[in-house]
Amino acid sequence: MGKITKSTIMNQKIKELQQTFADDAIKIADLQQTMDDQKVMIRELENTNHARLNRIQELERAVSDLEYENQDFKNAQTRFQDDIQTKDQEIYNLQSTNRELQHQVDTANYNSLYHE
């Protein structure tokens, strides 16, 4: 075997460094691809989150509309109950008037039968 010279050692070190650089370049390319993939995933997640936010806002508006409609319903129900109470009072008053009139008719009939 021949003598190992500084030149041989330097050439070997250069080859090792070149291989290390090549390996590092592959790792960098892989990392770059991973970063690109992650950027795509981030954009997809942002789009999904944006869509979800829009849906949440739609649901919040729907809830607000339902609360408004519910208040309208409660107000209408209160007016309806007030109307029922008013009609009940009117019925009671008419029944009282009817009883009074019936009593007057009965009295007049009695008087006409027994006092003529």
pLDDT in the model for residue 91: 98
The two tokens of residue 105 are 């008719």
Record the pTM.
0.54
Q: What are the C-alpha distances in Å from 64 to residues 50, 57, 76? A: 21, 10, 18
Cα separations in angstroms, 9 against 5, 13, 21, 87 = 6, 6, 18, 113
Average pLDDT (56-72) is 98
Q: Is the pLDDT of residue 1 over 60?
A: no
d(CA 77, CA 64): 20
Hey, where are the domains in the chain? 8-83
CA distance to 11, 13, 22, 23, per residue, from 16 (Å): 9, 5, 10, 10
**What average pLDDT does range 18-26 have in this prediction?**
97
Residue type for 79, please? Answer: R
